[in-house]
Structure 1
Amino acid sequence: MAVIELILCIIAIVVASSFLSRFIPKVSTPLVQIALGALASQLPFFQGVQLNPELFMVLFIAPLLYLEAHDIDKSELLKTVKLSLSLAIGLAIATMAAVGFALHSIWPAMPLAAGLALGAALGPTDAVAVSSLGKEASLTTRQRSVLKGESLFNDASGIVGFQFAISAAITGEFAVGKATGEFIVSFIGGAAFGFIVGLFINWLFETVRSLGWENTTTRILMELFLPVLLYVGAEECHVSGILSVVTAGLLIRFDRTGIGPNVARTNIVSSSVWGVLSFTLNGAVFILLGMLLPQAMTASWSDPNVSNKQLLTVILLITVVVITLRFIWVASMLCLARDTTTGKRRKMSPDRWRSAAVMTFGGPKGAITLSLMFTIPYTIAAGAEFPMRDELIFIAAGVIVMTLLLANFTLPLLAPNHAENTSSEMFEVTIEVLRQTVEELTTRITPDNRRAVLMVIDSYTKRISRLKQLAGIVDLHGYEQLKLQALYWEKEFVRARQAEVRAHPNANKAVQELNLEACERMLDQIMNSLRHASANPESGHTVSQIRGRIRRFQHRTGNIVKRVGNRIRRTTPLVSEDQIFAHTQVLQVEAIDHVIERLSEEMTKDTYNTEFCSALILDYRRAEASLKSRPNMEGSTEAANQAADIKRDSYGIELGVVQDMLEAGDITRAQAKALRRNIYVMQVDADSGV
């Protein structure tokens, strides 16, 4: 039951972090999740959370690395593979040595082998952190490719180096030759295992698809199971499970081949499932990290034999060593790198120094480092306690927090994110496409499909409103102006009806009086609404209110005089209040229909925003429905079915609008591609109910 509660708690925190991140835009989501995990660890029923490193690698890291490798731009990775491997292998080994000797020098009580183990654990960058923090800054394609490539390949070198250092600490002997051989076997063997399995999986899935045996359920389950199978199989063969997962992820392409609606539908579902799983696993990694950090740091912090000041000093110094060494290494590689076109080395310009700084701070440490540190044994070969185990874990945890903080606050300064402007521009483009689609739908309204088309237009209006709220584009004044104009249209319609009744007297005086009274009451209501809707508080508004009240007083006085005269003469009035009320409702419905027609006409013009017209039409239709005592349920069902067909047609209109805007130069090809992708997804949803 405790495991179930832990899982539910982690999922709840992941959901909460997605909301909190919106209100803390300057703090990256991983840091928010770490903080929430640390708070959750203080709850009485979650204290003492234990992390099984092997299970953690299988269930969390392997699927995430597979997804990162599968989605990475292969062409860009090939262009930067030398720099990525240099960071993944060369820098990881250099970090291991630099941290080990630096820690042993500033804290002689720390054995050199233990320091090397810490350095090896601090070698790997966290692929999850790199991916998440990269969203907070505007990194170039090359920088993203280098950082992602490094995080995909450096786990093997870090794990082998860590195992070598721990073995040396336990036995007291440095077996450099043996460790080098193990590293080569693990690295090459893991890549070969992933390559072979990846080829087999491609053949298997493409064969199953050609035979018509593939379905969405089995395909998704196999995809989710694949990273776990790769990791466990490689570890059983005593090669790098991480590298096997990465290699297979780079190689597998079965989901990029094949055509047809079934393949497209399955790919869409697969993408959606992996998107949800990726976000959940990403969040779970950082939440677990947050839960484990207090536990990792409490033992050393509360130890009276260890100076807390010394611990903090060591964390700062080790962080400086790691960051400085990484900056020197990256800058050196940029100096040595040759231009792809000229073949000559380029001088280090300010932009290239900034790029070196971005890639330096863009390699934070994370959960892999902490999971390795928790595998440190409690005893050595002689039976004594492992030297300073708690202190090593404390230092590693501190460096993780420092690198994450540095990445969070320095990357946006070094590479400001301009995605907000791009998003705002994309919002405006999407709104314009939807607006033109609504205008085209308006021209297709006929008496038979009027209700169904307006239902579809209403759905587009809601989409436009949501996009405007996200983009911060809200014009309440424009909407209020349109409402005011609609009231004037009502008033014009009722006055025209009143003039028509007076110009053509009815032989039946009761009907004549009924029509005139209904018009009078409607005008009173409209004028009262106009007085309250006016936003001008100046004297003209006050005068209008006084005139309206005088007119209403005169009308009511006239009605009272009629009733008193009828009582004196002992005659009954020509019409009753019930008749007046019923006829007024009929007149209101007619006035509403008139306003809806005017609003529909305005949707094809530029006077008022299309979405404002559509929203007001919806309001008037609701008012009309409330006036009718018996709604036609059969007609509503028929309209809903008709609206579904029109909605499918509307997606074709959207695609046409996108193409027209692209040909006119109003949008770029990238924007058109993004817009089409969204429309295709909605088309699949409408056709198959995905």
Structure 2
Amino acid sequence: MAVLELVLCIVAAVLVSSFAGRFIPRVSTPLVQIALGVALAFLPFFPDVALDPELFMVLFIAPLLYLEAHEIDKSALLGTLRLSLSLAIGLAIATMVAVGFTLNAVWPSISLAAALALGAALGPTDAVAVSSLGREAALSQRQRSVLKGESLFNDASGIVGFQFALAAAFTGEFAVGQAAGEFVVSFIGGTIFGLAIGLAANWVFETVRSLGLETTTSRILMELFLPFLLYLGAEHFHLSGILAVVAAGLFVRFDRTGVGPNVARTNIVSTSVWGVLSFSLNGAVFILLGMQLPRAMRASWSDPYISNNMLISIIVLICAVVIVMRFVWVAAMLRLARDTNTGKRRKMTAERWRSAAVMTFGGPKGTITLSLMFTIPYALSAGTPFPMRDELIFIASGVILLTLMLANFLLPLLAPNRGGDESAALVPITIEVLRTTVEELTGRITPDNRRAVLMVIDSYTKRISRLKQRIGELDPQGLERLQIEALHWEKEFVRDHLAEVKAHPASDPAQQELDVEASERMLDHIMNSLRHTHTNPASGHAVSQIRGRMRMWERQMSNFTKRTISKIRHTTPLVSEDQIFARTRELQVEAIHHVIERLVDEMGRSTYNTEHCSALLLDYRRAEASLQARPNMGGSAQAISQAEDVKRESYAIELGVIQDMLEAGDITRPQARALRRNIYVMQVDADSGI
């Protein structure tokens, strides 16, 4: 029952932290969750809990690191791999040595081996904290890649270094050669094990899908099971479970580029499940950390033989050593790094010093450090109590809190958020993808699928318009210019038709008179519309207006005269008003078809914006529908069925456009992932009508 109460309390605290973060925007979520964990620990009814480090690593750290590795931008990681590995291995070892000798020098009661163990535990940065830095900080893509890459790889070096330092403190012997050899085996072996399991997992996922056996439930369960299998399997063979999880996370794929409503629905559910699980585990990690801090610090703080001021001073000193070592190391790596274009080393400018400071404070310590410290045994091999165990845990806890607070409050000053909105930055890219898709669809129009393709193009036009409204980039003047040009296309079509009728008289005089009358009336209507679209009172335009009105009055007077003479002679006109009206509607439909064809051609060119052509296409198709007789139900059903097929084809086009942009370097992998996620959402709705 106590375990159930503990789980419910942690879940409730995670939920509260999700709301509290909205009201405390300048405090990062991890700090809020640590505070909630501390508050829970002091509640009288809260069950006393002891952290099992091994269980903690399996249940929390393994799936979080796996997800972080799977979601990281691989291309950006490769670009910063050298710096990330330098921090993960070189800096971790340097920090271990510096902290160990410093602590042993200022407090000789702590043995060198135990001090080195503390230094090794303070080597790893917290991947969760790196991903949850203060909302007010704006880190560059390179800085984020370096910090995330470091947090993925430095756990292994910290854990292995801690284990060997602890073994030396436990037995009194320290074999450097043996430690180095086992470190290499653990590091390389864990990586190879993770890659092997990742390769096997890819084959399993692809085989299950190709056989039609994959369901949403089976897919999600396989994904969730994988990180636990990786960690436990690697640890069983005495390899680095952390590196195995990271290597597999970087290598495993789930065929997220598949097309179809079922695949899209599975991808959406997978993303949602991992999103909820990630936030829940992240919150639980920091809440557990907060719950452990009072217990970890109470024994040393209440010890009458140890000065509390000295404890605080040592925490500040060790924190300073960690930060200074990190700053010097990062600055040195930036100074030694060569420019990718010139191949020369660059001087340290003010901006590069600021970047070094950002990456220094962007690497706070966290849960892995504390979980390692709790693995310190209570007694040595001889049975005597482990010396200064509580004090070591107290110092580690203080450094964790101090580095987290420095990251939260200094990073916004070093890298202030200028109000940039990543979703807004993605809008122009999305518009470009949609525009390219429309152009590709335009090239696939045939007489058989014309109506269906235009229906899908209309839906894309609406999406583009909504996105442009979000960023305020609508161009009503550009659309108006295209509308006027379309009126001129109508005028040219009707004028050419009228000239053709007059040049080749029909055998039926009534039919010829009907065509002439309908064409002239439609010309009058178009010219009247064009006159109303112009607002420039230039003299040349005024003369054109006068001439047009005179031609219209001339035709009207000619028609009136013909009908008057017919009435006087008591003869029936060759054509009636009803016939003229019907023929005018037919001619309007023909003119609309002509304009639609011109708009389709224009979408493959650069004269007008694609979205303007699509928007006007929508207007002309609506006008066509209102002029034509009601279509039969069979034709409509066939068009809708064709539109569904075209819609699914358009999703494949979108995915292809995104892949091309990614390979060309126009977008990053996180942006490509977000764009694909939008398409998956659309695919889920693929069975609904447009």
Tell me the equivalent position of 2:529.
none
Tell me the equivalent position of 2:535.
none
Tell me the equivalent position of 2:239.
239
CA distance in 2, matches of 1:115, 1:411: 29
CA deviation map 1:631-660 (0-9, x unaligned): xxxxxxxxxxxxxx9xx99xx9xx99xx9x
CA deviation map 1:43-101 (0-9, x unaligned): 12325321111111111000000001011111111111111111001000000000000
* Pairwise CA distance, 1:424: 7.4
How many residue pairs get matched? 478
| Matched residue type, 2:260 | G
* Contact 1:66 1:245 (C-alpha < 8 Å) held by counterparts: yes
Tell me the equivalent position of 1:388.
388
* Contact 1:361 1:403 (C-alpha < 8 Å) held by counterparts: yes
Tell me the equivalent position of 2:602.
none
TM-score by length of 1: 0.64
CA distance in 1, matches of 2:130, 2:391: 27
Tell me the equivalent position of 1:354.
354
Tell me the equivalent position of 2:82.
82
| Matched residue type, 1:175 | A
Tell me the equivalent position of 1:269.
269
Tell me the equivalent position of 2:363.
363
CA distance in 1, matches of 2:279, 2:92: 28
Tell me the equivalent position of 1:153.
153
CA distance in 1, matches of 2:270, 2:48: 36
Say yes or no: does 1:101 pair with 2:101.
yes
* Pairwise CA distance, 1:422: 5.5
Larger RCO, structures 1/2 (Cα 8 Å, 6+ apart): 2
* Contact 1:104 1:115 (C-alpha < 8 Å) held by counterparts: yes
CA distance in 1, matches of 2:216, 2:27: 38
CA distance in 2, matches of 1:242, 1:43: 34
CA distance in 2, matches of 1:253, 1:99: 40
* Contact 2:164 2:179 (C-alpha < 8 Å) held by counterparts: yes
Tell me the equivalent position of 1:28.
28
TM-score by length of 2: 0.64
* Pairwise CA distance, 1:262: 2.1
CA distance in 2, matches of 1:419, 1:67: 28
Tell me the equivalent position of 1:526.
none
Tell me the equivalent position of 1:622.
none
CA deviation map 1:226-276 (0-9, x unaligned): 000000000001100000000000111233354333222211111111111
CA distance in 1, matches of 2:72, 2:677: 21
| Matched residue type, 2:64 | L
* Pairwise CA distance, 1:114: 0.8
CA distance in 2, matches of 1:10, 1:407: 24
Tell me the equivalent position of 1:223.
223
Say yes or no: does 1:138 pair with 2:138.
yes
* Contact 1:189 1:239 (C-alpha < 8 Å) held by counterparts: yes
CA distance in 2, matches of 1:407, 1:230: 31
CA distance in 2, matches of 1:359, 1:134: 14
Tell me the equivalent position of 2:199.
199
* Contact 1:48 1:295 (C-alpha < 8 Å) held by counterparts: no
Gaps of 5+ in 2: 431-461, 472-639, 655-665
* Contact 2:5 2:47 (C-alpha < 8 Å) held by counterparts: no
* Contact 1:120 1:162 (C-alpha < 8 Å) held by counterparts: yes
Tell me the equivalent position of 1:171.
171
- The within-5 A match list for 1:389-428 is 389-419=389-419
CA deviation map 1:293-336 (0-9, x unaligned): 11110010011111100000000000000000000000000011
Equivalent residue of 1:316, what SS?
helix
Tell me the equivalent position of 1:499.
none
CA distance in 2, matches of 1:287, 1:183: 32
Tell me the equivalent position of 2:114.
114
* Contact 2:261 2:685 (C-alpha < 8 Å) held by counterparts: no
Equivalent residue of 1:183, what SS?
helix
Equivalent residue of 1:193, what SS?
helix
Q: Percent identity?
A: 69
Q: 1:276 to 1:672 in 2, by over 3 A?
A: closer
Tell me the equivalent position of 2:314.
314
Tell me the equivalent position of 1:580.
none
* Pairwise CA distance, 1:211: 1.2
CA distance in 1, matches of 2:259, 2:51: 44
Structure 1 stretch 63-72 or stretch 132-141: which is displaced more?
132-141
Q: 1:270 to 1:227 in 2, by over 3 A?
A: same
Tell me the equivalent position of 1:42.
42
Q: 1:258 to 1:368 in 2, by over 3 A?
A: same
CA deviation map 1:160-217 (0-9, x unaligned): 1101111111111111111111101100110010011111111111111111111110
Q: 1:5 to 1:420 in 2, by over 3 A?
A: farther
Say yes or no: does 1:186 pair with 2:186.
yes
Q: 1:301 to 1:688 in 2, by over 3 A?
A: farther
CA deviation map 1:461-495 (0-9, x unaligned): xxx9xx99xx9xxxxxxxxxxxxxxxxxxxxxxxx
| Matched residue type, 1:153 | F
Equivalent residue of 1:242, what SS?
helix
Equivalent residue of 1:44, what SS?
coil
CA distance in 2, matches of 1:425, 1:74: 21
CA distance in 2, matches of 1:283, 1:220: 21
* Contact 1:255 1:267 (C-alpha < 8 Å) held by counterparts: no
CA distance in 1, matches of 2:226, 2:321: 38
| Matched residue type, 1:156 | A
Q: 1:100 to 1:211 in 2, by over 3 A?
A: same
Equivalent residue of 1:365, what SS?
coil
| Matched residue type, 2:254 | F
* Pairwise CA distance, 1:342: 1.1
* Contact 1:41 1:49 (C-alpha < 8 Å) held by counterparts: no
* Contact 2:426 2:671 (C-alpha < 8 Å) held by counterparts: no
Tell me the equivalent position of 2:333.
333
| Matched residue type, 1:62 | A
* Pairwise CA distance, 1:426: 8.1
Q: 1:393 to 1:259 in 2, by over 3 A?
A: same
Q: 1:676 to 1:278 in 2, by over 3 A?
A: closer
Q: 1:175 to 1:688 in 2, by over 3 A?
A: farther
CA distance in 1, matches of 2:425, 2:242: 40
| Matched residue type, 2:276 | V
| Matched residue type, 1:81 | L
